[in-house]
Amino acid sequence: MISLRHRGFTLIELLVVMVIMGLAYSLVPPLFSSGSSGAELKSATRQLAAGLRKARSEAISRKRETFLALDVEQRKFKISGDSRVFSLSRKVEVKLHAAQSELFSGHTGGIRFFPDGSSTGGRITLAVGDLIYQIDVDWMTGRVTIGE
């Protein structure tokens, strides 16, 4: 006589699979959140570097000093002669290292560009957790570079 066995999953096998799926589900969101923080940091770095380059370009083309003012506490910056105020992500920590003459208080200061393209120079550091980008402004040439 041939015996027919019913094939299927036991309750223990189903519970093991559910536990594994639960663990996998709990590990995935942190991976995506660190990626979005990295994207926000990169975006803020590029936005601020573009602002510095615009300030330098304005100084050269208009033949007058142009200043990029940065509020590190509020994470906002403004270019002289432009009414717009640009905001950076709240997740990004900002530090400004500039000439003493360009620091106004503990949390505001900036970098000045001159008509010949030179500047007062400085470094702006942006960070989210362990990710760090630095924007350097060469005092002699006014050249803006981004480094990790």
Residue 109's domain comprises 40-147
Identify the pLDDT of residue 29: 64
- Give a yes or no: residue 95 inside a domain: yes
Q: Report residue 9's pLDDT band, with 50, 70 and 90 as the boundaries.
A: confident
- Give a yes or no: residue 79 inside a domain: yes
Q: What is the value of pTM for the model shown? A: 0.75
- Give a yes or no: residue 3 inside a domain: no
End-to-end CA distance of the chain: 75
- Which of 56, 73, 54, 74 lies closest to 65, judged by CA? 56
Q: Which two tokens stand for residue 75?
A: 């994470």
For the chain, what is the domain count? 1
| CATH number of the domain within which 60 lies | 3.55.40.10
Q: Within 13 Å and on the Cβ side, how many CA atoms surround 5? A: 3
- Give a yes or no: residue 10 inside a domain: no
- Give a yes or no: residue 29 inside a domain: no
pLDDT digits 0-9 by tens, 118-138: 999 999 999 998 899 999 999
- Give a yes or no: residue 7 inside a domain: no
CA R_g for the chain: 26
Compute the Cα dihedral for 61, 101, 71, 124 and give only its sign: positive
Distance from C-alpha of 63 to C-alpha of 42, rounded to nearest angstrom = 31
Consecutive H or E run containing 106:
none
pLDDT digits 0-9 by tens, 12-24: 888 888 888 888 8
- Give a yes or no: residue 6 inside a domain: no
- Give a yes or no: residue 89 inside a domain: yes
Q: Report residue 4's pLDDT band, with 50, 70 and 90 as the boundaries.
A: low
pLDDT digits 0-9 by tens, 19-74: 888 888 777 765 555 556 788 999 999 999 999 999 999 999 999 999 999 999 99
Q: Report residue 2's pLDDT band, with 50, 70 and 90 as the boundaries.
A: low
